[in-house]
Structure 1
Amino acid sequence: MRSDLPLPPSDTSKRRVPLCLVVEDDMTMRHLVTNYLEDHDIRTLSASRREEVPALLLRNSPDLVVLDLRLGQEDGLDLLREIRAQSDVPVIITTGHRRDEIDRVIGLELGADDYLTKPFGLRELVARIKAVLRRREAVPSLAQQRDAEKGRWRFGSWEVDRRLRRLTNSHGEPVGLTKGEYALLMAFLDAPQKPLSREHLLQATRLHEDVYDRSIDVQVLRLRRKLETDPSVPSVIRTERGIGYVFTLSVERL
């Protein structure tokens, strides 16, 4: 772990100081990270074991989690799944080796908001934490609107229950969606028949901001495979060249 030059002090008089949960089994690393965050206006909680995390999330409602995917002998990806089942708190995952690329990709697909590979600079960690929190603050209305609009919606022969986060086909059969696919579908349903840029979709789905925007193309391809009769000739999610995508179906609230 590198220790970088300190960040300039920030003005905390006009905002609430965020709370970060650091999940790291290495005591030296855990203390190094938590002390640095505390020095830079980020309150901290810490956990060294997987079983400590659910209670800490419930009692303290942290604004962000920094999670080491190599948590002792346990699989941090399983813990990430548990966190996502319990909370939508932003998560930054850390990995110890470049060869853990598959785990990083899976972590992002499971709903992690960012990642860092060890050794990483503490200054970079703080910058990424603040960037993730800014993204969350920049689009709170999306989550709030979706909470307020929970109910059943129909488009074409499809129906989605936002309360249950469940998509069903014309036969009433549930169709599984990843968190990224569901978030992308919600972004389309919030603005049907309107061209949406890749940048807008990246923000709406809270994907990692440093990922090249073609990652949205991958998500769209996966969603097309579940919605389109022929994904190679899409009619539900149409590509708007030079802009992004448009969801062609009208959306009806039931």
Structure 2
Amino acid sequence: MSDIHADHSDDQAQSRKPLILVVEDEPKIASLLCDYLNGSGYRTRHVDDGNAVIAAVNDERPALVLLDLMLPGTDGLTLCRQLRAEDALLPIVMLTARVEEVDRLLGLELGADDYICKPFSPREVVARIKAVLRRSQALDQTLSQSSAKGQLTLNEEGWQALADGHDLGLTAVEFQLLKVMMQSPGRIFSRDQLMDHMYRDHRIVSERTVDSHVKKLRRKIASAWPERDVIRSIYGVGYKFEPDVLD
């Protein structure tokens, strides 16, 4: 009987460890990464085909995705874009043998939190993952505090945004736009990045369309808070949500 209780306790302790989804098609590298991560207090799940990644993330939301750039099936950059469109907060660290600056910048522009080039030290990968998770937890805390402080809350089931209890009457696109920016306070989003989050079918729209949605969203927020401007325009770059103005 005691052995059964011990096994159950071990299972519970294991399930509480953060899950790292390792997306890597080279078996030796994947095995090495999983061994180091498991030895550093994480759980791991390994996927070796890009076509299986979205299902794996939906099956059990990982704490972080360690994503190789070159994969059979869907490639890493496309996956990064798709994951970001579904969840703006999911931490993503990309792995690649490509060292060209254009690839590094493209990966980060699509929403990767960090970028590690092969060959690498497994200890360095673990250290970088820990750093990204610390930043992610800090953002979660900031978002929670800013929402409570300014009484700007989102009801995702009802697709409602409430400013001090006042329903802003947002459209689905406006709600998604506000949600994305609130999830990453202080982060500047380009118009292209906002398009990816607003339209999950990746339709092609003009930058003016994004500007129009932002203008309408700001007007609706201003109807409840005439003197507050929580969405800031960054000239020539894009937009960001600034929770500090809610003080």
TM-score (norm 2): 0.58
Paired residues in the alignment total 175
Q: Please tell me whether the aligned partners of residues 191 and 238 of structure 2 are also in contact (alpha carbons under 8 angstroms).
A: no
Q: 1:40 to 1:135 in 2, by over 3 A?
A: same
Map of 1:223 onto structure 2: 238
CA deviations over 1:7-44 (Å, ceiling 9, x no partner): xxxxxx9xx42110000011111111111111111110
**Structure 2: which 5+ residue stretches go unaligned?**
1-12, 155-159, 164-169, 179-189, 198-213, 222-226
Q: Distance in 1 between matches of 2:27 and 2:133?
A: 26
Partner of 2:97: 96
Aligned partners of 1:111 and 1:179 also within 8 Å: no
Match of residue 164 from structure 1: 176
Q: Could you say if the C-alpha distance between residues 176 and 222 of structure 1 is closer, same or farther in structure 2, counting changes exceeding 3 Å?
A: closer
Q: 2:82: which partner in 1?
A: 82
State the identity %: 35
Q: Distance in 2 between matches of 1:76 and 1:69?
A: 4
Higher normalized helix content (fraction of residues): 2
Which residue is equivalent to 2:116? 116
Given that 1:110 and 1:179 are in contact with CA atoms closer than 8 Å, whether structure 2 keeps it comes out as: no
Kept after mapping to 1: 8 A contact 2:51/2:74: no
SS in 1 for 2:237: helix
Work out the CA distance in 1 between the residues paired with 2:53 and 2:143: 24
* SS state at 1:148 partner: strand
**Structure 1 spans left out of the alignment, 5+ residues:** 1-12, 154-158, 167-174, 195-218, 225-236, 238-245
TM-fit CA distance, 1:193: 7.1
Matched, 1:148 2:153: yes
Shift of 1:221: 3.8
Checking the alignment, whether the CA contact within 8 Å between 1:151 and 1:162 is kept in structure 2 is no
The aligned runs of 1:10-159 (5 Å cut-off) are: 16-72=16-72, 74-87=74-87, 88-99=89-100, 101-144=101-144, 145=146, 148-149=153-154, 151=161
In 1: Cα distance, 2:110 partner to 2:59 partner = 23
**Residues of 2 paired with 1:151 and 1:141: CA distance?**
19
Which amino acid in 2 is paired with 1:119?
A: P
Residue 229 of structure 1 is matched in structure 2 by none
Aligned-partner Cα distance in 2 for 1:54–1:19: 15
SS of the equivalent of 2:116 reads: strand
Output the CA distance in 1 between the equivalents of 2:235 and 2:113.
19
Which letter does structure 2 place at the counterpart of 1:148? T
Q: Which secondary structure does the structure 2 equivalent of 1:25 belong to?
A: coil
159, 172, 193: which one pairs with 1:178? 193
